[in-house]
């Protein structure tokens, strides 16, 4: 985020703190609970947004060197992504072209050759078939015809995108929009390395997991003994543009930041930026790295999803000790902080999401309410609805007895 924008955001947070105000969506909206339970909608989401759009597989640091690879099975297609000898990022269907066996079963690692466990056909990092035992016995095959099936892949601003369909298209100008395409380079995501990776299987719709990242109204109640110690609850900024939005949460450290000259203001000290990428990605950059949260639907079960919470660290943060805390092992401390943050999401936020799902499943409430101070929730759901061609949720001045 450019410095002038950081200053604008910090001033807005200070104004909310001083005036006892918060962002204002301009009204309330009611959201039908069927959006979290309907198998037909869940099917459309899966096919149109997860099978039919590019997905974020991770950050450039997940493939740190030539020969690095990772596999992914979250979006239906088994995916093998590689960093080639030329440094290029590529992705393939992770199935051997002989008889379709899953080629690479490790989640990540470094290899120059991928050898199929069935009959030992082998492929290089560019997906080319380079080895076939007893080729003369097998029969005549033009090796170049049987390379791994390539998937569209693009690396931009340190983010790795893959389309799960070989004939799919990646349009990052649309997905990231002008705004994020302009702002993301300032975060230097390409320099980060993966520090912790956690996965939580939760009995709730993936959109309820997203919803929990959509406001700080809940901080003082739900996180009274955890996040509220470091954040001012119910204070945030919110900006949107088309299908993009960014919130900045308000850290208690803002009280010190505002005493400094403006040139020294740092939005990651005063707050926590939260970027939403349609449909299921949350990116939260802060002083020493970034949290990446992905809420991955479970196909065929609208009431279940898996959240992946990854923390990537800025390598120089480890050396220069940017937090200014004298600790013998900064990386160990950062690991511990990252893990505790993930556990708060799992044990506090997602406990609420699962509880909301239990309620939605009964059908007892046909609608829930989004407040004026929860604009990201209005935006998630109206974006989802517009992408599905559903009627938008109207903005209401008040909730009245007839609703």
Q: Which residue is associated with the tokens 């088994």?
A: 78
| DSSP bridge partners of 150 | 92
- Using DSSP's 3-state secondary structure scheme, residue 303 falls into strand
Of the pair 115, 197, the CB lying nearest ligand FES is at: 115
Q: Which two tokens stand for residue 273?
A: 């930026």
Exposure b/e, 71-102, CB count within 10 A at least 16 = b: bbebbebbbbbbbbeeeebbbbbbbbbbeeeb
Q: Which two tokens stand for residue 308?
A: 């992946």
Among 119, 193, 203, 385, binds ligand FES (CB under 6 A): 119
How many residues touch ligand FES under the rule CB under 6 A: the total is 9
Which one among 36, 114, 121, 312 touches ligand FES, defined by CB under 6 A?
Answer: 121
Could you say whether residue 215 binds Fe ion (CB under 5 A)?
no
Phi, psi of 93 (to 5 degrees): -70, 125
* From the list Fe ion, ligand FES, none, partner contacted by residue 349 (C-beta under 5 to 8 A by kind): Fe ion
| Interacting positions 75-104 with ligand FES (CB under 6 A) | 96, 98-99, 101
* Stretch in the footprint of ligand FES (CB under 6 A) among 6-14, 20-28, 111-119, 265-273: 111-119
Q: Could you tell me the smallest distance in angstroms from the CB atom of residue 212 to Fe ion?
A: 5
Choose between 101 and 226: whose C-beta lies nearer to ligand FES: 101
Give just the sign of the alpha carbon dihedral 316, 319, 324, 328. positive
Element (H, E) at 193: strand 193-202
Task: Report the SS3 class of residue 383.
Answer: helix
234: left (phi over 0), alpha (psi -120 to 50) or beta: left
99 binding partner (options ligand FES, Fe ion, none; Cβ < 5 to 8 Å by kind): ligand FES
| Sign of the four-CA dihedral 272, 275, 280, 286 | negative
Query: Of the candidates 215, 310, 349, 374, which one interacts with Fe ion according to CB under 5 A?
Result: 349
Query: What residues pair up with 284 in beta bridges, in sequence order?
Result: 291
Q: Does 118 bind ligand FES (CB under 6 A)?
A: yes
Residue 119 binding: pick among Fe ion, ligand FES, none (C-beta 5-8 Å cut-off by kind): ligand FES
Examine residue 149 and tell whether it contacts ligand FES (CB under 6 A): no
| Count of residues touching Fe ion (by CB under 5 A) | 1
List of residues contacting ligand FES (CB under 6 A): 96, 98-99, 101, 116, 118-121
Q: Which residues bind Fe ion (CB under 5 A)?
A: 349
């Amino acid at each position: 985020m450019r410095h002038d924008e950081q200053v604008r955001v910090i001033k807005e947070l200070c104004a909310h703190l001083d005036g006892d105000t918060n962002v204002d969506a301009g009204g309330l909206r009611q959201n039908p609970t069927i959006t979290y339970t309907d198998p037909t909608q869940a099917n459309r989401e899966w096919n149109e947004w997860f099978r039919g759009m590019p997905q974020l597989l991770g950050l450039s640091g997940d493939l740190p060197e030539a020969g690095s690879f990772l596999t992914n099975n979250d979006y239906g297609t088994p995916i093998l992504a590689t960093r080639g000898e030329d440094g290029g990022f590529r992705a393939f269907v992770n199935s051997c072209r002989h008889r379709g066996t899953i080629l690479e079963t490790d989640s990540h690692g470094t290899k120059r050759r991928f050898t199929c466990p069935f009959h030992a056909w082998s492929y290089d990092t560019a997906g080319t078939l380079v080895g076939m035992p007893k080729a003369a016995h097998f029969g005549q095959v033009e090796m170049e015809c049987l390379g791994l099936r390539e998937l569209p892949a693009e690396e931009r601003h340190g983010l790795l995108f893959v389309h799960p369909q070989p004939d799919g298209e990646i349009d990052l100008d649309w997905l990231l929009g002008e705004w994020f395409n302009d702002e993301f380079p300032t975060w230097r995501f390409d320099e980060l390395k993966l520090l912790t990776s956690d996965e939580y299987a939760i009995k709730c719709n993936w959109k309820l997991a997203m919803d929990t990242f959509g406001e700080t109204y809940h901080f003082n109640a739900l996180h009274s003994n955890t996040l509220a110690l470091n954040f001012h609850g119910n204070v945030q900024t919110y900006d949107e543009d088309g299908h993009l939005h960014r919130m900045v949460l308000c850290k208690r450290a803002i009280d010190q930041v505002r005493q400094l000259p403006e040139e020294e203001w740092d939005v990651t000290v005063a707050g926590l930026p939260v970027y939403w990428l349609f449909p299921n990605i949350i990116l939260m950059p802060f002083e020493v790295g970034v949290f990446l949260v992905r809420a991955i639907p479970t196909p065929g079960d609208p009431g279940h999803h898996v959240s992946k919470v990854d923390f990537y660290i800025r390598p120089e943060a480890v050396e220069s000790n940017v937090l200014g805390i004298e600790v013998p092992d900064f990386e160990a401390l950062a690991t511990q902080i990252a893990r505790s943050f993930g556990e708060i999401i799992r044990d506090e936020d997602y406990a609420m999401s699962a509880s909301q799902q239990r309620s939605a499943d009964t059908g007892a409430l046909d609608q829930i309410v989004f407040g004026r101070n929860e604009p990201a929730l209005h935006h998630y759901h109206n974006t989802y609805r517009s992408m599905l061609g559903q009627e938008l949720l109207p903005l209401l001045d008040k909730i009245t007895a007839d609703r």
